[in-house]
Amino acid sequence: MDKPIAPQRWQMRLAGLGGRTLAIIVVLALVVAAAHRGAWRVDLSPDRRFTLDPALETILVAQDEPVSVVAIWPAEADEQVEPLVESLHAMVRRNPRLSYRRIDPARDQPALEQFAKRYQDRSGPAIYLCRGERAFKITVTDVGLSRRTLQQDVGGALLTLADPNPPQARFLLGHGELQPDGSDDGGDALVRALTLGGFRTVLGGEQPIDPGSLLVIAGPTGPLGAPTIARIDQHLVDGGSLLVFADQRMPADLAILLRRHGIFVGPGIPRDLGDPAILLADNPEPMPPTDVVSLTRNARAVTRQAEFPYYNLLIGPDLLGEDGTLHPALVATAAARRDLLSPGSTPVLVLALDPVAQRDLVQRLAAVEGQDVGNLLDDVRMPASAAHGGVGNLGPHLKNAQPGGRAAFSRGHQRGKHPGVTVIGSQHLLIHIHVNPALPGANAAWPRTVERQRH
Amino acid sequence: MSATAIARRDLIAAFTTPLAWLVIATWALVTNGLFVIFALHPYHGNAGADQPLYVVTLSGGVWVLLFLAPAITMNSFASERAQGTMQLLLTVPVRETHLVLGKFVAAFALLGTLVATTLVQVGTLAVVSQLYLPHLLAAYGGYLLLCALLAALGVWISLLVDSPVTAYVMTFGGIFVLLLFTFTEPYPLLKPLHAVFAVLPRAQRFLAGEIRLADVAWFLAATATFLLLSHAALCARRIHG
């Protein structure tokens, strides 16, 4: 009978070696798995983008009603927008009343239809914060809605949605403006955008304008008339805000009114921008309509996203300067400690500036100004901070806001106080921004116009 | 002979041949070119920029490193075999652990030299711009962890094949496979592989200034795994002959 062949010694040693190696690798895998479950992390980014701001945490924790965060984009885009998804999950974890879900427009048609029926909107890519029957839309643009700006937007949106008396957006009608009546001229899109930006919209009416409200003049083509101009002027003097969509067709009386408030637009653009007297002149010699000074480097992305068909109003670059330098008008404004965009007096304005462009602006201003630039743009107030300029953290309008209280926007501008700029809305609304170059300390050598085209 | 002595021997050998200098020159040319184009160009810092300038070229450099790393590591053991010195090396009184660690440290130091050359860019930006040191440290920490992983992978593969060229090709293939896992997330069947093996997202998180314990553990564990495999392969060679 044959004896069983004993394994050779070297085979035993090899088996032992393999077993030990495998065991250590398994232990290493378990360590990695444990580390993964622990989710411990350190945020060393300059703007602390991986950390929820304490102000936002307070707002999140204070939510006393269910809020659903609904993302509308294709499932394939999840990886592309992973930072946003991750941030949203982190926010939702702070309060069980908050929930998150993604609707894929191609695969979740019933859910999308249901959502559209309830909130009158279904366009993506976007993030909607829904509380009861109200929703707030945060558009996701390809130029990047960063973790930081997302925090600002979500914080502002939650405050706005919790506000039982949201700020009013009052539409001026009857002068050739866009008609929010179901026609296809974009008026309905504008109303919807403002509603999804936290406003309660009111169409027309002759009653006095609440100074805390936003007056919307969307593309007027006929004269407004002296009484209406006087009402608008009083509204501005009282610290109210004004959103104007306009081009060359805009009536001269409105253009002259805006010019008195330091904004040059359409027929109100004078030939001699360097003469401060033109601010008060009723009929200075007009500049050719192709000469404008405008801001917003990022109009490209905004126009692609825009639902608002008034594209010819979306004048693009470039107050920031084609060569990467800051336009002297902005430098002078910052140096003079004046309001950034409306150096005249009251906070007329006019825009929803892309948040990335705002951040870029702040960074560039920081290079000119030093440490205080954040304060300069903290004067910017808005409901959802879509254009918030704070670099390192949320601005005081969120920090000081009481959860459940009124949105920061509704604080409005106080008469006789430091002039501020009111930036409203979300990224898909945009309009001319004109800087009054007749500023103290302005350099006479700076170019009077930086852009010579009108789209 | 200790691991240090082996590492020193390999480093001296590397710097006395043109290959290491060629790799460093290529690296410096490409990364500095990226730096000039993307960081010093007048259009730098445009509105879409989401990363500080000092991270921009490091992000691009990761890709370059993945291509160049095999050229550094291919000589670890494969050249010993190609030159006929492998048997001699196996007979010297040195533990397998020290042998593997020595080779690894040499490869890691060479890759670290590549990374160190990018400090010139940081210095330049420190003059004309602002740096945020903690973020910079996170980015370079991630870089070094990636270098350690690539060095360990290269040493292991170099031990398995007979010639440096084969080692280069095989190492590049291994890195390519790791890269492939970066792009498998959208496919449900392959998503778990992405979660376990994808290397680029982990490296990018360091560059963004986010240090996750899971990522650190993953890089260290992956490096240790390849070193263990190298150690096992070397022991097996000594046991079996």
pLDDT digits (tens, 9 = 90+) for A358-380: 444 445 444 443 333 332 222 22
Q: Flag whether pLDDT at A307 surpasses 60.
A: no
Q: Flag whether pLDDT at A314 surpasses 80.
A: no
- Answer for the pair A133, A35: CB distance below 8 angstroms, yes or no: no
User: Helices in B35-132 by DSSP H: which ranges?
Assistant: 53-73, 78-83, 86-91, 96-117, 119-128
Lowest-confidence pick of B61-70, B79-88, B93-102: B79-88
pLDDT of residue B241: 62
Q: Flag whether pLDDT at A389 surpasses 50.
A: no
Structure tokens belonging to residue A167:
């700020």
Reference B111, options B228, B222, B212, B10; nearest CA is B10
Interface size between A and B, measured as CB pairs under 8 A: 102
Residue A387's pLDDT band, with cuts at 50, 70 and 90, is very low
Query: What CATH number is attached to the domain comprising A145?
Result: 3.40.30.10
Write out residues 146-175 of A within 8 Å (CB-CB) of B.
146
Give per-residue pLDDT as tens, A180-233.
777 666 677 777 777 877 778 888 776 777 766 778 887 788 899 999 998 888
Listed in sequence order, the residues at least 6 apart from A400 whose beta carbon sits closer than 8 Å to its beta carbon are: A408
Q: Is residue A109 part of a domain?
A: yes
**Helical axes A9-38 vs B213-240, angle rounded to 10°:** 180
pLDDT of residue B39: 65
pLDDT, mean of residues B141-161? 94
Q: Is residue A296 part of a domain?
A: no
Reference A172, options A211, A212, A202; nearest CA is A202
Distance of alpha carbon A326 from alpha carbon A369, whole angstroms: 11
Nearest Cα of chain A lies from the Cα of B235 at a distance, in angstroms, of: 8
Distance of alpha carbon A429 from alpha carbon A432, whole angstroms: 11
Structure tokens belonging to residue A432:
């001319």
Domain ranges, residue A64: 54-162
Residue A96's pLDDT band, with cuts at 50, 70 and 90, is very high
B169 or A309: whose pLDDT is higher?
A: B169
Interface contact A41-B186, CB threshold 8 A: no
Give per-residue pLDDT as tens, B223-233.
999 999 999 99
The per-residue b/e assignment along A115-128, b for 16 or more CB within 10 angstroms, e otherwise, is beeebebbbbbbbb
Distance of alpha carbon A13 from alpha carbon A359, whole angstroms: 64
- Of the residues B41, B213, B219, B223, the best mutation for testing chain A's interface (the one with the most A CB atoms within 10 Å of its CB) is B213
Distance of alpha carbon B191 from alpha carbon B115, whole angstroms: 31
Q: Is residue A81 part of a domain?
A: yes
Q: Is residue A315 part of a domain?
A: no
Distance of alpha carbon A213 from alpha carbon A168, whole angstroms: 5
Percent of chain B with pLDDT over 70: 90
Instruction: Tell me which chain A residue has its CA closest to the CA of residue B186.
Output: A76
pLDDT of residue A251: 85
Residue A350's pLDDT band, with cuts at 50, 70 and 90, is very low
A399 or B36: whose pLDDT is higher?
A: B36
pLDDT of residue B229: 94
Distance of alpha carbon A194 from alpha carbon A99, whole angstroms: 24
Tell whether A87 is within 8 A of chain B (Cβ). Answer: no
Which residues of chain B lie closer than 8 angstroms to A39, CB-CB? 212-214
Q: Is residue A125 part of a domain?
A: yes
pLDDT of residue A403: 35
How many structural domains does chain A have? 1
Residue A413's pLDDT band, with cuts at 50, 70 and 90, is very low
Q: From the list A10, A29, A298, which residue is nearest B47 (CB)? A: A298
Q: Is residue A119 part of a domain?
A: yes
pLDDT of residue A310: 24
pLDDT, mean of residues A229-251? 73
Percent of chain A with pLDDT over 70: 48
Residue A83's pLDDT band, with cuts at 50, 70 and 90, is confident
Distance of alpha carbon B149 from alpha carbon A136, whole angstroms: 45
B145 or A350: whose pLDDT is higher?
A: B145
Q: Flag whether pLDDT at B77 surpasses 90.
A: no
Residue A159's pLDDT band, with cuts at 50, 70 and 90, is confident
Q: How many CA atoms are closer than 13 Å to the CA of B81, on its beta-carbon side? A: 18
Structure tokens belonging to residue B62:
């990761």
pLDDT, mean of residues B127-140? 82
pLDDT of residue A198: 74
Q: From the list B186, B208, B217, which residue is nearest A31 (CB)? A: B217
Distance of alpha carbon A2 from alpha carbon A63, whole angstroms: 81
Phi and psi (nearest 5°) for A57? -60, -40
Taking the domains of chain B in order of start, what are their residue ranges?
Answer: 3-240
Write out residues 263-302 of A within 8 Å (CB-CB) of B.
297-298
Interface contact A45-B210, CB threshold 8 A: yes
pLDDT winner (highest mean) among A11-20, A155-164, B150-159: B150-159
Q: Is residue A75 part of a domain?
A: yes
A337 or A300: whose pLDDT is higher?
A: A337
pLDDT of residue A267: 64
pLDDT winner (highest mean) among A69-73, A77-81, A290-294, A381-385: A69-73
Residue B218's pLDDT band, with cuts at 50, 70 and 90, is very high
Q: From the list A21, A40, A79, which residue is nearest B228 (CB)? A: A21
pLDDT of residue B56: 72
pLDDT, mean of residues A319-325? 41
Write out residues 35-74 of A within 8 Å (CB-CB) of B.
35-36, 38-46, 49-50
pLDDT of residue B232: 92
Distance of alpha carbon A279 from alpha carbon A257, whole angstroms: 9
Q: Flag whether pLDDT at A1 surpasses 80.
A: no
ipTM: 0.84
Instruction: Tell me which chain B residue has its CA closest to the CA of residue A298.
Output: B47
Q: From the list A28, A43, A357, which residue is nearest B221 (CB)? A: A28
Q: Flag whether pLDDT at A324 surpasses 90.
A: no
Interface contact A76-B186, CB threshold 8 A: yes
Interface contact A46-B52, CB threshold 8 A: yes
Reference A434, options A293, A261, A317; nearest CA is A293
DSSP string computed for B194-227: HHHH--HHHHHHHHTTEEEHHHHHHHHHHHHHHH
What's the mean pLDDT when you consider all of chain A?
61
Distance of alpha carbon A382 from alpha carbon A385, whole angstroms: 5
pLDDT of residue A284: 52
Listed in sequence order, the residues at least 6 apart from A403 whose beta carbon sits closer than 8 Å to its beta carbon are: A58, A59, A62, A63, A158, A159, A162
pLDDT of residue B150: 94
- Helix (H) or strand (E) holding A24, with range, is helix A9-38
Tell whether A336 is within 8 A of chain B (Cβ). Answer: no
Distance of alpha carbon A451 from alpha carbon A321, whole angstroms: 10
Structure tokens belonging to residue A65:
């009603």
Paired residues of A126 in beta bridges: A72, A139
B103 or A280: whose pLDDT is higher?
A: B103
Which residues of chain A lie closer than 8 angstroms to B209, CB-CB? 43-46, 49-50
Q: Is residue A115 part of a domain?
A: yes
pLDDT, mean of residues B69-87? 85
- Answer for the pair A215, A177: CB distance below 8 angstroms, yes or no: no
Paired residues of A203 in beta bridges: A171
Q: From the list A17, A43, A363, which residue is nearest B209 (CB)? A: A43
Q: How many CA atoms are closer than 13 Å to the CA of A269, on its beta-carbon side? A: 21
Residue A262's pLDDT band, with cuts at 50, 70 and 90, is low
pLDDT of residue A146: 64
Nearest Cα of chain A lies from the Cα of B142 at a distance, in angstroms, of: 12
pLDDT, mean of residues A262-279? 53
Instruction: Tell me which chain B residue has its CA closest to the CA of residue A360.
Output: B47
Reference A352, options A399, A318, A390, A302; nearest CA is A302
Residue A155's pLDDT band, with cuts at 50, 70 and 90, is confident
Give per-residue pLDDT as tens, A420-435.
333 322 222 222 232 2
Nearest Cα of chain B lies from the Cα of A30 at a distance, in angstroms, of: 10
Which residues of chain B lie closer than 8 angstroms to A45, CB-CB? 135, 208-210
Interface contact B50-A14, CB threshold 8 A: no
Interface contact B42-A324, CB threshold 8 A: yes
pLDDT winner (highest mean) among A407-421, B36-50, B54-68, B219-233: B219-233
pLDDT, mean of residues A302-317? 26
> How far, rounded to the nearest angstrom, does the alpha carbon of residue A63 sit from its chain's CA centroid?
22
